[in-house]
């Protein structure tokens, strides 16, 4: 194979997508921090069931992230209600995934709910970035 016919090298993500991923991750960090702090307060201090505490804390994180991502990451301010509903629907995938992880690891294997919640966050972040980029802010 000559240099002219060689397959092109794999390309990195487009600079815009990479920039969006970095912003999404940073904003996600603020949402994760809010989510985790509220979860810990509701579950550990208030004694709330982990499933209900998760729904409430995640909802606050979703709202935080939507506002910041609409403004800074995807820079989309049109169809705001539709976008929020889509963003929230994507957020529900995170709630559902965490719910399943609680069932398996906390209820099934006895692992502390705080550890399960913390461990679920990177998985949820990756799933939601793809869904939000392709659907909520497309």
Alpha carbon 50 to its chain centroid, in Å, reads 18
Q: Using CA atoms, how far apart are residues 96 and 108, in angstroms rounded to an integer?
A: 16
pLDDT of 94-122, one tens digit each? 889 989 999 999 999 999 999 998 899 88
Nearest CA-CA partner of 22 in 57, 64, 72, 71: 72
Given this model, what pLDDT does residue 90 score? Answer: 93
User: What pLDDT does 126 receive?
Assistant: 82
Distance, C-alpha 84 to centroid of its chain = 14
Which residues of the chain have a pLDDT value below 70? 1-13
**pTM over the 0.85 mark:** no
């Amino acid at each position: 194979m000559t240099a002219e016919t060689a397959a092109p090298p794999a390309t990195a993500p487009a600079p815009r997508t990479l920039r969006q991923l970095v912003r999404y991750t940073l904003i996600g960090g603020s949402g994760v921090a809010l989510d985790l702090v509220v979860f810990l307060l509701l579950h550990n201090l208030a004694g709330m069931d982990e499933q209900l505490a998760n729904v409430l804390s995640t909802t606050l994180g979703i709202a935080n992230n939507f506002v910041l991502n609409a403004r800074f990451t995807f820079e989309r301010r049109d169809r705001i209600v539709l976008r929020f509903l889509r963003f929230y629907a994507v957020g529900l995938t995170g709630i559902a995934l965490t719910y399943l992880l609680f069932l398996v690891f906390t209820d099934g294997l006895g692992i502390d709910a705080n550890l399960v919640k913390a461990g679920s966050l990177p998985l949820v972040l990756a799933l939601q970035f793809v869904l939000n980029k392709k659907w909520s802010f497309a």
